Structure 1
């Protein structure tokens, strides 16, 4: 047994008193520790929405690293709700066995798997053939302001069909043997577009008052409970403060008080946990509030030029150094004075004080002492981590060894984010690797699959 293995074994024996590594018990689910891998992935899957071995490899990277549960990346309940092509969906019964294989793989590492059910609404980054050059369903006809994605306000009949699509998707997740579902009602996606006082301009029963704006989300929760019962884990991700005004002329959107009320309503209709984030578009300066490497976007953003009517304008800001300070001025004003680690922890604390169900907080976590204090102080019951785990998938095991931070921590450079439009998901901070070749090998490791090559059967042609 090597030195680290011996220390890890010794550390495990003393974890009973460490709040990070005590089990978290929800109403229908127990997670072995308080570390969740937050929703993040790349374009790993097939154009028809079916998942691949690459996605399984990606998720198992974090399960093996010691997280208690994985929240899947954004999983659309309809093909017209994908943010990016080649993201796996859950809109067909035929996909249940594929998700079952993924769940089985993650479970083999004593890790839970929670599927994040989603719909882009007007926030659609890179359309596929199923939703190309079409305004996407939303709460409004007003296009998304940053990239100019086109949209149209849904009718009430279309809303009812989408409510049913979410319920059937939750049923498929349960049939696949997964451990629960999360509704992505944060960061500017469809649920946010209904909840938001800055975006939702409807005059029917889905617009106006906060109760009306929350109606769509609450109807989905009730439909899921009617479909799968009360014994299947269901959580909701909310932006505690909307901060919709990255472009200064846009409205600020919902306040913390609004979100506390929505969280209470969610609990009342059967939600088991609240996952707290911030912001109403993606990327957002506070997810987490690191720098925005425009020199990377100058190379990758051309993939998005045709996605929205403002794409070419943005590309010019990223492409030409003289224009970059104008964009950065808007971006940086949102994050000025904000912490990177625990950026929305105070809001999580306020929500936790208002509900009786567990609260998960996301926001740049990678320091064990900081996370331990957040849990012990009652600010949250668990943390959800994305970028810091992309940099160090074995972060939980590093904490088990008694280290406060990894030897090579995440720098919050956001290069993983800005490479995503064109390149594989991964850590692109070259300074964290011995050389560039080592970085590329780490990024592409999940793609090392060897599918069987064979002639297709006649019925497959």
Structure 2
């Protein structure tokens, strides 16, 4: 089967994977309240999706209380949160799997009602994201004009990323993925449409990349390069991201990450729209794995609208080393087994993606033994 290529071993830094079917980071908004604490339901969800030698990337996790952009998103900054995450990592490790913690700061994609002190969200510059977001009650509200970060606050956020990485290791995670994608704070620094600073963190490509690279260097210094990944989304345009530098920005950033010999680079292909199930893939969009694999010169995980056959084809090119699946992993807790055996996939229910309890979270069926036998029958 063509999909067999997805089941070859792969070394990602310190992690020796048995296969290349990765679970993408997926915001599900089911942390226990109060305190945004991971709990037994989350442990069940991740444990269901774990497989021997397989990698799961956790949902984006707040590094401090001021990071918060959405309700019921878990954190990694309090003792209770660390303890809660231990339940999750233990469930994954019991299945022989690996799990890394995606750590983020949403920046301007927040609202005063979500901030502990009722202050404005922060960003590289006082430029609001276009359109509407959500307040603490789930109401749609226009994005506010954020506060431009001072140099002192930039340094403090960098330190919070480091502490989050240390907390993640204490919680049993096998590493961390630094979220530099999808229009959140690090991405806001990278793009000149959202970053119009005139100091060392704005202007040139090198300056706009400084925030990301300082965070990576600081985290690497504490937990090791072989346990650090970075996620980027070149040309996504999400949440108002735009840049005048084109390919030059991404070549610089990705080459700089490659020089640091981190465990992996996680690239989101801009052809897919993860907010819409009906919109077809944009086949005219750049193939970022093909463009930047050589610049990184290390393992690349690709994400963005992949199915088993297209995932296998992407790995066969050599531009992608592993494929991260989102919606298929939501609906198929046994996704690696289904792909390996050619079993049919469950369909996801978008209405249950965010918030709620077990429905649409831990109640998707595994392939039954009877169905497995029926599928294998001649």
Q: What interval of TM-score do these two structures reach, taking the shorter chain for normalisation?
A: 0.7 to 0.9
| Distance in 2 of aligned mates of 1:402 and 1:98 | 35
- Count of aligned positions: 353
Choose from 374, 377, 382 the match for 2:322.
382
Q: CA deviation at 1:161?
A: 0.7
Structure 2 stretches lacking a partner, 5+ long? 133-141, 365-378
Query: Do 1:26 and 1:272's aligned partners in 2 also have CA atoms closer than 8 Å?
Result: yes
Query: Do 1:352 and 1:380's aligned partners in 2 also have CA atoms closer than 8 Å?
Result: yes
- Which residue of structure 1 lines up, in the alignment, with residue 201 of structure 2? 206
- Which residue of structure 2 lines up, in the alignment, with residue 261 of structure 1? 252
Distance 1:103 1:391, change over 3 A: same
Distance 1:177 1:171, change over 3 A: same
Higher deviation after alignment, 170-179 or 344-353: 344-353
Matched, 1:104 2:82: no
Query: Do 2:74 and 2:81's aligned partners in 1 also have CA atoms closer than 8 Å?
Result: no
- Which residue of structure 2 lines up, in the alignment, with residue 142 of structure 1? 127
Q: Give the TM-score taking structure 1 as reference length.
A: 0.70
Query: Do 2:10 and 2:18's aligned partners in 1 also have CA atoms closer than 8 Å?
Result: yes
- Which residue of structure 2 lines up, in the alignment, with residue 373 of structure 1? 313
| Distance in 1 of aligned mates of 2:83 and 2:143 | 34
Query: Do 1:36 and 1:67's aligned partners in 2 also have CA atoms closer than 8 Å?
Result: no
- Which residue of structure 2 lines up, in the alignment, with residue 58 of structure 1? 45
Matched, 1:402 2:334: no
Query: Do 1:121 and 1:189's aligned partners in 2 also have CA atoms closer than 8 Å?
Result: yes
1:146-225 matches, cutoff 5 A: 146-147=131-132, 148-150=142-144, 151-225=146-220
Distance 1:378 1:41, change over 3 A: same
Q: CA deviation at 1:47?
A: 3.0
Query: Do 2:54 and 2:97's aligned partners in 1 also have CA atoms closer than 8 Å?
Result: yes
1:51-450 matches, cutoff 5 A: 51-63=38-50, 68-124=54-110, 128=114, 130=116, 133-147=118-132, 148-150=142-144, 151-230=146-225, 232-243=226-237, 251=242, 255-277=246-268, 286-287=273-274, 290-291=277-278, 338-339=282-283, 346-367=287-308, 369-403=309-343, 406-409=344-347, 416=350, 420=353, 423-424=355-356, 441-443=359-361, 445=363
Q: CA deviation at 1:97?
A: 3.0
| Distance in 2 of aligned mates of 1:285 and 1:385 | 12
Q: CA deviation at 1:30?
A: 1.2
> SS at 2:58's partner residue?
strand
| Distance in 1 of aligned mates of 2:245 and 2:294 | 19
Larger radius of gyration: 1
